[in-house]
Amino acid sequence: MIAHGWRVLLLLLMLGLAPGGQAAPAGSVWLLSVDDAIGPASADYLLRGLEQASEQQAQLVVIRLDTPGGLDSAMRQIVKAILASPVPVATYVAPSGARAASAGTYILYASHVAAMAPGTNLGAATPVQIGQVDKPPVPPEQDTLARKQVNDAAAYLRGLAQLHGRNADWAEKAVREAVSLSASEAQRLKVIDLLASDLPALLRQLDGKTLVAAGQALQLHTAGANLVEHLPDWRTRLLAVITNPSVALILMMIGVYGLLFEFINPGSGVGGVVGGICLLLALYALQLLPVSHAGVALILLGLAFMVAEAFLPSFGVVGFGGVVAFVVGALILMDTDAPGFGIPLALIIALAVVSALLLGGVLGMALRARRKALVSGDAGLVGSLVTVTLVRADNPFCGSVQAQGEQWQVRCATPLQAGQHVRVTARHGLTLEVSATAPTAQGA
């Protein structure tokens, strides 16, 4: 029965680990959907989707986009993949009410076809300030680093606009002044190519058009083409979860405390396995995110202090210093103000409170153990009640007893009997001095 269960589990894993692409006839239209902040997960999803669409000889990839923006590094990965794709890419901001803000504007400009649904908007492409946690925002004209970032972003978006013959002046204005446009205004100003109410309408408008992708001119036949929706697979969903900064921070906490539990109670295996997996996942997520190295160092230092409190006689000083270091590190952990990549203050406080409670519990157990009387060594032997296991035949005043899991030689002022209860009064090397107990004591 157990072997059958393992076979079923292995089969499910093999199915879950299989590539997420769908087999489709050549000339199909592939649909990829992004409806969250642009990050490592969405970049991995789009890059693999474009690669699989090329392998299966799709004639067009449609990216249905709704994003508030995201990380510059992930956005640039997506833009590079679109520009290098041998399959034309049409980015479609939909449904109505969606937006292509910040990083989404760059992806829209990089695509071979830029389309929007009515009631959508794009723009606000000014790069967010990085590393501004410990000081107030500074106007760009007074901040050299900010000017460099804005100039670089403006030149980047202008280059994408010129590449596809779109409005380059408005592209630069979207970066320098953070302006936005509605879908109808974007079409009027030639920021986008098409305005379509839904996906079938977009495919009808694209039918017969010729696009240049990777240096080759390709004519589209999308009116009756087979549409393949490529949904995010397990890898993308897992990556989206663990690259959430809040989840990464929680995984780090679970990992450290799991390993601590394993060190305190070796042999159980649960703490070591769970803690090791969570800690590795947290470290993998953090290396994909724009984190502050000082924040990571403070978090690890704080956790180390809280762990050390369980082994050092510091009466809480080291432990509560670790809580402070953890809170400060978590506050400055993310080195970006991009939407969707912040850590809520409430979560930081909750984790700090949990750590403080665990630390208080450890201190409480230590204080209770300190007040208890010793139960080992001479302090545990002298005064204890033991049972005579053997009496010497040649000397009834001497014999053996079982004490603290060991056999001891004893001598007594009165004759001993096997099974008799005696009390240890002193220890002389490897011999114990005992005295016979009263009947009431024996029954105790």
Q: Is residue 312 domain-shared with residue 187, that is, in the same domain?
A: no
Q: Is residue 184 domain-shared with residue 39, that is, in the same domain?
A: yes
Q: Is the pTM of this model over 0.85?
A: no
In this predicted structure, what is the pLDDT of residue 369?
62
Distance CA 294, CA 93 (A): 38
Q: Is 29 exposed, middle or buried (0-12, 13-18, 19+ CB in 10 A)?
A: buried
| Segment 333-346, tens digit of pLDDT | 877 666 667 788 88
Contact predicate 243/39, CB 8 Å: yes
Domain range spanning residue 390? 377-442
Parallel/antiparallel/unpaired status of strands 210-213 and 194-195: unpaired
Please check whether residue 265 lies inside any domain of the structure.
yes
Q: Which of 83-87, 260-264, 352-356, 382-386 has the lowest mean pLDDT?
A: 260-264
Single-letter residue type at 338: A
Q: Is residue 166 domain-shared with residue 315, that is, in the same domain?
A: no
- The fraction of the chain above a pLDDT of 90, given in percent, is 34
Between 280 and 3, where is the model more confident?
280
Please check whether residue 80 lies inside any domain of the structure.
yes
Residues making up the chain, counted from first to last: 444
Given 371, 398, 419, which residue is the final one in a domain?
371
Given 195, 213, 235, which residue is the final one in a domain?
235
Between 112 and 297, where is the model more confident?
112
CATH number for position 106: 3.90.226.10
Contact predicate 254/271, CB 8 Å: no
Summarize the confidence of residues 64-89 as an average pLDDT.
93
Q: Is residue 151 domain-shared with residue 125, that is, in the same domain?
A: yes
**∠ CA(62), CA(65), CA(67), 5° rounding?**
160
- Alpha carbon distances (Å) from 371 to 312, 357, 366, 404: 17, 21, 9, 21
Please check whether residue 1 lies inside any domain of the structure.
no
Q: Is residue 28 domain-shared with residue 152, that is, in the same domain?
A: yes
Q: At what angle do helices 40-55 and 72-84 cross, to 10 degrees?
A: 10
Q: Is residue 161 domain-shared with residue 274, that is, in the same domain?
A: no
Closest CA to 242 of 270, 205, 277, 197: 277
Band (pLDDT 50/70/90 cuts) for residue 100 is very high
169 pLDDT above the threshold of 60? yes
Q: Is residue 55 domain-shared with residue 131, that is, in the same domain?
A: yes
Please check whether residue 8 lies inside any domain of the structure.
no
Contact predicate 324/76, CB 8 Å: no
| Segment 421-433, tens digit of pLDDT | 888 888 887 788 8
Please check whether residue 306 lies inside any domain of the structure.
yes
Summarize the confidence of residues 343-372 as an average pLDDT.
75
Distance CA 392, CA 390 (A): 7
Please check whether residue 334 lies inside any domain of the structure.
yes
Torsion of CA 293, 296, 302, 305, to 10 degrees: -80
Q: Is residue 335 domain-shared with residue 248, that is, in the same domain?
A: yes
Q: Is residue 87 domain-shared with residue 207, that is, in the same domain?
A: yes
In this predicted structure, what is the pLDDT of residue 366?
62
Between 330 and 342, where is the model more confident?
330
Q: Is residue 272 domain-shared with residue 416, that is, in the same domain?
A: no
49 pLDDT above the threshold of 80? yes
130 pLDDT above the threshold of 50? no
Please check whether residue 9 lies inside any domain of the structure.
no
| Segment 403-414, tens digit of pLDDT | 877 888 888 888
Closest CA to 44 of 18, 81, 94: 81
DSSP 261-316: HHHHSTT--HHHHHHHHHHHHHHHHHHHS-B-HHHHHHHHHHHHHHHHTTTS--TT
Distance CA 161, CA 159 (A): 5
CATH number for position 410: 2.40.50.140
Total domains in the fold of the chain: 3
Q: Is residue 298 domain-shared with residue 175, that is, in the same domain?
A: no
356 pLDDT above the threshold of 80? no
Distance CA 115, CA 307 (A): 55
Contact predicate 322/301, CB 8 Å: yes
Given 174, 208, 235, which residue is the final one in a domain?
235
Q: Is residue 203 domain-shared with residue 111, that is, in the same domain?
A: yes
Please check whether residue 105 lies inside any domain of the structure.
yes
Residue with tokens 């690890």: 300
| Segment 17-44, tens digit of pLDDT | 444 444 445 689 999 999 988 999 999 9
